[in-house]
Structure 1
Amino acid sequence: MTVLVGVLLVRSVARLSRVVVAHRRGALAALLVGALAWGALAVSGVQVAGQAVASTPTAGLAREHVAGGWADYRDESAFGTAIADDELAGQPDLLGGLAGKDVLVVFVESYGAAALTDPDIAKGVTPVLDAGEESLGQVGVEARSGWLTSPTVGAGSWLAHATLQSGLWVDDDRRYEQLLAADRLTLTRAFSDAGWRTSFVLPAVAEPWPQGTEFYGFDRLHAGDDLGYRGPELGWGGIPDQYTLAWVWRSLLAGTDGPVMAEIDLVSSHNPWPQPPPLLPWGDVGDGSTYTCMPGCAAQGPQDVRSRYAASVGYSLESVVSLVEEHPDLVVLVLGDHQPWGQVTGDDPRHDVPVTLLAGDAEVIERVDGWGWTPGMQPAPDSPVWRMDAFRDRFLGAFSRGVHER
């Protein structure tokens, strides 16, 4: 009975700590008073029917929950202040330097620093980037690359998306939910306010996601079922990245009036990294029925997970390069969301991901010269490392008409 009472009391204290965040000061005060009283009973050794009313270990656990609740409360308050404190909100002409251009923000799933810095993995990725630099150079497209520190590793792509878009450090789900319930200038809203038609392409998503329009400000969301894919399921998301990009071109960009800004999720490089399909001529992609389930596409492929990871990232990047080679007038930001799981990187990997800006307009590249990014598609080891929440302000600053960093 004593053990049962202890367990119930611990669970009660844990539940009260969660109430702190929901009911703020009143709940926190009550929880603190209760914890102090519990601690006093534990120290005094008061007993009822020969049993201690409160034990010292349970009191310690209660103090831990109170401390956690208090930390959450303080962070919620500070993060709320950061959300509201936005010097760029309401500023005019934030994107005049990109006027008339179609802009793609392309997140490559699990494209982390390991893809370029781990020798065994890099040998499957860097040749793709080397060849991409050469082929893009032939059509007048330049590249600049750097590093961004993601707020997450292994999973949690939504935290990286929110961080890049909002200019705030969103490193847990509590902050994420708080942000999405608030009002904040996102990159998407800045483009929309400046006259771009905005879309979010999410090939692996099936459920409705109202926050995409309500918070981020996208005009339209395009989930997997909207993309018209008729081929076999290839990988975690089912739809190969080249098909997703082909759909974006023909459905969002080709023959449209006015500039388009689209954020695109590429998911062929998502765990468990099965064998990617070969890159097809763009005219052969069609509705995807051209794809066949080659050996390994339905399974995980070779046993070496690191080789599978390298092959899938290489395929995603090759798809992006090929699209820009076909359409060099695009401005494309391609980046990773986070490092892959520890089975690829080992324990405690760095949180950095590569980021590359591609543009065929020399003025676009000139506007980011002050960033110090490395020419080409591979950031140098000493290329600047920014936290991902710094990107929004730097990007908007660079492309505001007449104002760009030197």
Structure 2
Amino acid sequence: MKRLLFTTILLNGLFLALLLPHYPGMPWVAAEALLLCGLFALLPGGVGKRAGAVAVGSLYGLLAFFALSDLLVRESIGRPFNLYLEFDVAGSVFDLMQSNLGTTLSVILIVMVLASFVGLAVCVGRLLVQVGQGVPHRTATATTTLGLVALVVASLPQPFVGLSAARTAAQQVELAMDTHRSTVSFRQHLEDNPEAVQSQPLQKLGETDVILGFIESYGISSVTDPRYGALIRPRLAQMEQTLADAGLHIVTGRLRSPVQGGQSWLAHTTLLSGQWIDTQLDYEIFLASDYPTLIDDLANTGHDTVAVMPAITRDWPEGRAFGYNRIYQSTTMDYRGPALNWVTMPDQYTWSWFQRQVRERVDKPVFAEVALISSHAPWVPVLPVLDDWDSIGDGEAFNRWKDAGEAPASLWKDPERVRQHYARSVDYALNVATEYAKRHVDNKTLLVLTGDHQAAPLITGDDASRDVIVHVISADPDLLVPFVGNDTSPDGLHGFRWGAHPQNDLEGPAMARFRPFLHRHFSLPSVSAKISASNPIEK
């Protein structure tokens, strides 16, 4: 009797642990645990009982993996764990671990985690095998009956008894079905708009360098959250003054990103394409289509199209699918300075190299997508900005910060200190971008600085807006006027205003509206009238 009671309590706790991602909305009793204890107490010992226990234990280990993954994914990128999607990003997760923890520690950590799930599976199996020893048949029958009653009660709207294993498994099934329907709809949308598979020249930008700088994790929380606004809002005020002193103008607004905390490429593609792309499957479908992007638009306008991707460390076939004239990545940017944990090179080097090796070496307008990664997790170390840009050269000037700062594994033991480093890294990224603009933006330049997504929920909180901040900078104010107009069309932008500070109380339009907005305001009227490139999908 005591064995049955102990096993029931222990299994109840183990099964309730599957619902930790839904804390504090967890029941007190897991109906499946109660029923399993009763059923296995009734079963006679033997091969059949052991086989059943192994099956249940293995299933529990798998569901426990789902539950832990759900917790981690919710905290890192602000959405539930979705087995239908995660296989495609597992490699990126390992790359992030490897760059911050090293290969050996990453492998050891993965092996330990997997071993823990195997251990849980074995534990549950052993408990079920032993549960019937010395238990009277009447007691086992009563426990089974109680378990059946608990199943019925769990189906009723009450907070005390629930289904844990079934709920965890059902969540994955529902997510898989929803994701499948979504991707089928997205594929059909692209197929149903064949007339849209043509680029849209932006003739009004025909003599203008268009630079699209994605600042990693530069979300609206960096100014609306008091923990970060105390540092970032003064930085924006200084940014505004510095640009004004240099004869530059700036407008600022907000756009809603399709992602949070990671998978930056989905945000990049959404903005470039004018389509709402929030899953890896949609991304792959889009790449396989002939749907054009801003890259095609500006290539047909006469621009040299370039991608500057310092975070890319290996072959990037997706980049070739976008159709850039040239792609530069970490191994082709001549950097001789130190790696900074995940960050292959600091933003100041990226800006300096881009100006020297790209803009100053072409005799035609440039469209460049520049990935700025100094504000990428783990946010350590945070470098100072060098006053003498001419001294940057091949990056050896940054060697003095080799091994600077503490190890990420040490920093991330203290969430509050992680948040402080996040704010400092965004401050650095804005400072460097401002200094670049002061030196190299003129009336033939349109510089768009935008966040790719909000930082992880650990930084922003669970219910933060997914908006990012967007700055548009030029010495020619006429290039900025369309952004502050009252464009209420379905593909318009709203909420932009002069200055470096976004509005705090007005949510931004979807990132997918950016490309149609440029079509509307920077194409010639005769061409704009032909736009049939479907309104952006806003899921």
Question: Structure 1 length normalisation: TM-score?
Answer: 0.80
CA distance in 2 between counterparts of 1:354 and 1:61 reads 36
- For 1:18-97, what aligned pairs fall within 5 Å after superposition? 70-84=177-191, 85=193, 88-90=196-198, 94-97=201-204
Cα shift readout 1:368-399 (whole Å, capped 9, x = no counterpart) = 23244121122112455111112221122221
Moved more, 244-253 or 66-75: 66-75
The residue number in structure 1 matching 2:518 is 395
Moved more, 65-74 or 104-113: 65-74
CA distance in 2 between counterparts of 1:64 and 1:272 reads 30
The residue number in structure 1 matching 2:501 is 378
Q: Residue 115 of structure 1: CA displacement?
A: 0.7
Task: Give aligned pairs, total.
Answer: 363
Q: Residue 74 of structure 1: CA displacement?
A: 2.7
1:121 counterpart (223, 228, 234): 228
Equivalent AA in structure 2 for residue 173 of structure 1: Q
Matched, 1:353 2:457: no
- For 1:306-345, what aligned pairs fall within 5 Å after superposition? 306-329=419-442, 330-345=445-460
Q: Residue 268 of structure 1: CA displacement?
A: 0.6
8 Å CA contact 2:258–2:266 kept in 1: the answer is yes
Equivalent AA in structure 1 for residue 364 of structure 2: G
Matched, 1:219 2:325: yes
8 Å CA contact 1:97–1:402 kept in 2: the answer is no
1:262 counterpart (358, 368, 375): 368
8 Å CA contact 2:467–2:507 kept in 1: the answer is no
**Unmatched segments (≥5 aa) in structure 2:** 1-50, 63-82, 85-150, 152-162, 486-492, 529-539
8 Å CA contact 1:236–1:268 kept in 2: the answer is no
Cα shift readout 1:109-133 (whole Å, capped 9, x = no counterpart) = 1111111111121122122211111
Q: Residue 269 of structure 1: CA displacement?
A: 0.5
Equivalent AA in structure 1 for residue 268 of structure 2: H
Q: Residue 400 of structure 1: CA displacement?
A: 1.0
Higher helix residue share: 2
CA distance in 2 between counterparts of 1:60 and 1:361 reads 57
SS at match of 1:264: strand
8 Å CA contact 1:235–1:297 kept in 2: the answer is no
1:362 counterpart (477, 484, 498): 477
- C-alpha change, 1:62 and 1:368, in structure 2 (3 Å) is closer
The residue number in structure 1 matching 2:244 is 137
The residue number in structure 1 matching 2:208 is 101
CA distance in 2 between counterparts of 1:343 and 1:336 reads 18
Q: Residue 166 of structure 1: CA displacement?
A: 1.5
Q: Residue 75 of structure 1: CA displacement?
A: 2.1
Cα shift readout 1:266-298 (whole Å, capped 9, x = no counterpart) = 111111111322111211111111121178446
CA distance in 2 between counterparts of 1:65 and 1:283 reads 54
- For 1:152-171, what aligned pairs fall within 5 Å after superposition? 152-171=259-278
8 Å CA contact 2:253–2:503 kept in 1: the answer is yes
Which of the two has higher C-alpha Rg?
2
- C-alpha change, 1:69 and 1:238, in structure 2 (3 Å) is closer
CA distance in 1 between counterparts of 2:176 and 2:462 reads 29
Q: Residue 310 of structure 1: CA displacement?
A: 0.9
CA distance in 2 between counterparts of 1:314 and 1:239 reads 17
Cα shift readout 1:61-109 (whole Å, capped 9, x = no counterpart) = 99877765554443222101222427654365x3111111111111111
- C-alpha change, 1:66 and 1:150, in structure 2 (3 Å) is closer
Q: Which runs of 4+ in 1 moved over 4 A?
A: 3-11, 56-70, 300-303
Cα shift readout 1:299-319 (whole Å, capped 9, x = no counterpart) = 459762222111110111111
- C-alpha change, 1:298 and 1:181, in structure 2 (3 Å) is farther
* Larger RCO, structures 1/2 (Cα 8 Å, 6+ apart): 1
CA distance in 1 between counterparts of 2:210 and 2:456 reads 30
- C-alpha change, 1:352 and 1:256, in structure 2 (3 Å) is same
CA distance in 2 between counterparts of 1:244 and 1:75 reads 37
CA distance in 2 between counterparts of 1:177 and 1:71 reads 17
SS at match of 2:396: coil
CA distance in 2 between counterparts of 1:286 and 1:254 reads 15
Q: Residue 250 of structure 1: CA displacement?
A: 0.4
2:382 counterpart (276, 282, 285): 276
SS at match of 1:317: helix
SS at match of 2:382: coil
Q: Residue 402 of structure 1: CA displacement?
A: 4.5
CA distance in 1 between counterparts of 2:327 and 2:475 reads 27
SS at match of 1:208: coil
Query: Superposition RMSD on alpha carbons, in Å?
Result: 3.1
The residue number in structure 1 matching 2:351 is 245
Q: Residue 153 of structure 1: CA displacement?
A: 1.0
8 Å CA contact 1:96–1:399 kept in 2: the answer is yes
8 Å CA contact 1:235–1:298 kept in 2: the answer is no
8 Å CA contact 1:104–1:262 kept in 2: the answer is yes
- C-alpha change, 1:252 and 1:73, in structure 2 (3 Å) is same
**Unmatched segments (≥5 aa) in structure 1:** 12-16, 19-55
Equivalent AA in structure 1 for residue 438 of structure 2: E
CA distance in 1 between counterparts of 2:382 and 2:360 reads 27
SS at match of 1:314: helix
Percentage identity across paired residues of the two chains = 33
Q: Residue 224 of structure 1: CA displacement?
A: 0.4
Q: Residue 355 of structure 1: CA displacement?
A: 0.9
- C-alpha change, 1:364 and 1:70, in structure 2 (3 Å) is same
CA distance in 2 between counterparts of 1:379 and 1:119 reads 15
SS at match of 2:284: helix
